[in-house]
Chain A
Amino acid sequence: MSIRHGLLALLERGPRYGSQLRTEFESRTGSTWPLNVGQVYTTLSRLERDGLVEQDGEDEAGHALYTITHAGRTELRVWFERPVDRTSPARDELAIKLAMAVGAPGVDIRDVIQSQRRHTVKAMQDYTRLKAQALTALESGAERERDDVAWLLVLEQLIFQTEAEARWLDHCEARLIRLSATAQQPGAVVASPAAPRRVPEPGGAASLPGGVRPGGLPPGGVTGPRRPAPPHRRR
C-alpha cells in the first residue's frame, strides 16, 4: 500500500521519527493525501512487525527513531520496479452513478453529466492555478527543491486525472446523443418542426444527427431498441 511504501522511501534517506515522516510525506505530495500521526505509527508498527523497519534509539529530543532494514530496502526496490496494479480497478463512484442513471426514472442523465462536468472543470481550474504557482516558484527558485518538483508531479497527475474525467463525460454525452438518434431512426426520420436542426459552426466539425432535442434525450432514448431495424432503403 502506498503509505507503507511511502514511509519506506522516506526512511531510506535516514532514520526518522513518526511526526517527521508525516511532515515529509505531506510536503512531498503537497498535502494531497493528508496523514494523521496515528496512521503513521500504525503503519510503522506493521512495518516493524514485518521486519521492514526497526526502532533505532531516540534523537536528542527523545523521539523514537525508526530505520529501514535490509528487507525493507528490498521491499522498496521491488515496489519501484513493479507497476501499480490496474487490473482490478478501484470502485469509481462517478462510473457507478452514470451506470445507474441510464434509464433511471426521473433522472436526466445529461444533467448528471453537466453538473459533474462543471465540478470537474472547476477542480481543474484550481489545480491549474496551483500548478502555475508551483511553476513560478520553481522557475524563480535558485535551486530546484526536491519537494517542489514532487509536488508539481502530483498536481499534474491531478490535472490529467480530472482532464480524463472531463473528456470521458463529453464522450458519454455524445455517445448518448448518438444512441438516442439511432434508436429513433427506424422508419422515417421525422424531425418535428419544433426540434431545431443543428448545423456545424463555421469551421466546426460535422453536425449532430437531426431531430435531437436540445433539452435532453428523447424519452426512452437510451433504453430503446439496441439493434434498430435497418432504415428502409429504396431498391
Chain B
Amino acid sequence: MSSSSRSPQQPVLQLQQLTRVHGSGATEVHALRGIDLDVFPGELVAVMGPSGSGKSTLLTIAGGLDVPSSGRVIVENTDITTADRKTLAALRRRSIGYVFQDYNLIPALTAAENIALPRELDGTSARKARREAITALEEMSLGHLADRFPDEMSGGQQQRVAIARALVGDRRLVLADEPTGALDSETGESVLALLRARCDGGAAGVLVTHEPRFAAWADRVVFLRDGAVVDQTVRSDADSLLTGRTAER
C-alpha cells in the first residue's frame, strides 16, 4: 500500500478532535482526549495501548455505538455525530461492519444467513442477499461453510464468517475489537491475514489489539496512552528492510 496510491482518495473514516468524558465533577474521567485519525480505503490501522488507554472507546464511538463528548466522526462523508437516528441506523447497516472477540454470530442462523441478515434488514431481497452472502464467502474461500451453523464451526471459522459479514455488500469499513482474543495463535494469525487481504482489496480497517504480533499486520500502528495518541508507526518498504535502506515515510 503506497501512500501515493491512496492520497487522492477520501478517508472512509475520519475522527476529528474526538473527546469522551465519562461522569462529571469529581468522578470525571477523560477516556479520549482530542483524537485525530483518518483511515483510507485499502488501509488497516491497528490501535494499541495499555488497558484503560481508550482503545475500545475509540472503536465504539467510530462505529456509532457510543457518542463523543465533543469532536466529529465522519464515515463515508457523513458526520455521524450530528446525523439523525434514521441516517445513523442506515449508515451502521450499510457502511460499518464490526468484528468482536466473541464472533457474535446468531446461533440459529447458518453462516450464509448470518451474512445475509443485515442486507435483508436493509431491504435487499432474500434471494439477492443470499447470493451476495455466498459470493462473500467464496471470495474468502469459505464457500463450504455456507450452510453450517455457528456451533458447527471452529472459532477461527466463525471469526472468518464474521469478517465476511462485516464487509458484505457495499460496506467498506470494518472495526475489529480484539478479533483474535479467543483464538489460538496460529488461527489468530490466519484471521489477521484475512482481514489484511480484505483491506488490500479496498476496505478500510481499524483493529484494536494488545498483541504486537497481530498489530504488525497493519499498515499503521497507533499508540494510545491516557486517551491520546502518543505515537504511531508507518510501514516502510519491506524489501529494503534487510538491506538497511529502510526509509521512513
A159 adjacent to chain B (CB < 8 Å) = yes
Which residues of B have CB within 8 Å of A128?
213, 216-217
Bound CA–CA A159/B27 (angstroms)? 42
- Give bound CA distance, A66 to B55, whole Å: 58
Verify A208–B52 contact, CB threshold 8 A.
Answer: yes
Candidate in A31, A114, A115, A117 with the most chain B CB atoms within 10 angstroms = A117
Which interface residue of B56, B196, B216 has the most chain A CB atoms within 10 A?
Answer: B216
Cα A118 to Cα B246 in complex, Å, equals: 14
Cβ A205 vs Cβ B216 within 8 A: no
A198 x B226 contact (CB < 8 A): yes
The complex places the Cα of A21 from the Cα of B53 at a distance, in Å, of: 51
Q: Kindly state the interface size class of chain B when it binds its partner.
A: 35 or more
Task: Please measure, in the bound complex, the distance between the C-alpha atom of A127 and the C-alpha atom of B212, giving whole angstroms.
Answer: 12
Contact B233–A125 (Cβ < 8 Å):
yes
Shortest beta-carbon distance from A174 to chain B in Å: 7
Q: In whole Å, how far is B219's beta carbon from the nearest beta carbon of chain A?
A: 8
Binds B, one of A10-18, A38-46, A162-170, A180-188: A162-170
B212 touches A174 (CB 8 A): no
Check: A88 CB closer than 8 A to any chain B CB.
Answer: no
Q: How far is the CA of A204 from the CA of B22 in the complex (A)?
A: 15
Cross-chain contact A198 with B52 (CB below 8 angstroms): yes
B134 beta carbon closer than 8 Å to chain A: no
B89 CB to nearest A CB, Å: 21
Rounded to whole angstroms, the CA-CA distance of A135 and B190 in the bound complex is 11
Q: Is B238 touching A170 in the complex (CB atoms < 8 A)?
A: no
B19 contacts chain A at the CB level, 8 A cutoff: no
Nearest residue, chain B, Cβ from A133:
B238
Task: Give per-residue flags for B66-93: 1 if the beta carbon is below 8 A from chain A beta carbons, else 0.
Answer: 0000000000000000000000000000
Would you give the shortest CB distance from B244 to chain A, in whole angstroms? 9
Shortest distance between the CB of A187 and any CB in chain B (Å):
21
Q: Report the nearest A residue to B192, measured CB to CB.
A: A128
Contact residues in B for A125 (Cβ distance below 8 Å): 215-219, 221, 233, 235-236
| Chain B contact residues: helix, strand, loop or mixed | mixed
Do A205 and B51 contact each other (CB < 8 Å), given the known contacts A124-B213, A159-B213?
yes
Q: Does B230 have its Cβ within 8 Å of any Cβ on chain A? A: yes
Please tell me if the beta carbons of A130 and B238 are within 8 angstroms of each other in the complex: yes
In B156-209, which residues have CB < 8 Å from any A CB? 193, 196
Which residues from chain B contact A207 at a C-beta distance below 8 Å?
A: 52
User: Does A224 sit at the interface, judged by CB under 8 A?
Assistant: no
* Interface pair A201/B51, CB less than 8 Å apart: yes
Interface bits B118-132 vs A (CB < 8 Å: 1, else 0): 000000000000000
Please report the C-alpha to C-alpha distance between residue A114 and residue B232 in the assembled complex, in whole angstroms: 10
B153: Cβ under 8 A from any A Cβ: no
Q: What's the minimum C-beta distance from B139 to chain A, rounded to whole angstroms?
A: 17
B231 touches A201 (CB 8 A): no
A48 on interface, CB distance cutoff 8 Å: no
With A174-B50, A205-B51 given, is the CB distance from A199 to B29 under 8 Å? yes
Binary per-residue interface labels of chain A (77-93) against chain B in the complex, 1 for a CB within 8 Å, 0 otherwise:
00000000000000000
In the assembled complex, which residues on chain A have CB atoms less than 8 Å from the CB atom of B232?
118
Complex CA distance for A184 and B213, rounded to whole angstroms: 34
Whether B108 sits at the interface, judged by CB under 8 Å, is no
Q: Complex formed: what's the CA distance from A196 to B193 in Å?
A: 38
Given A196-B226, A198-B52, A203-B56, CB of A122 within 8 Å of CB of B233: yes
**15 residue pairs A–B, Cβ–Cβ below 8 Å:** A118-B233, A121-B212, A125-B235, A126-B246, A127-B238, A128-B217, A130-B238, A133-B238, A198-B29, A199-B31, A200-B51, A201-B55, A204-B56, A205-B51, A207-B52
Q: A121-B221, A159-B213, A202-B57 are in contact. List 18 more A-B contacts (CB 8 A).
A: A30-B242, A114-B223, A121-B233, A122-B221, A122-B233, A122-B236, A125-B218, A125-B235, A127-B241, A130-B241, A130-B242, A198-B29, A198-B226, A201-B53, A201-B57, A202-B60, A204-B51, A208-B50
| Pairs of residues from A and B, 8 with the lowest C-beta to C-beta distance, nearest first | A124-B216, A214-B226, A166-B212, A205-B51, A122-B233, A128-B216, A129-B238, A201-B56
Interface residues of B (CB under 8 A from A): 22, 27, 29-31, 48, 50-57, 60, 193, 196, 210, 212-213, 215-219, 221, 223, 225-226, 228, 230-236, 238, 241-243, 246
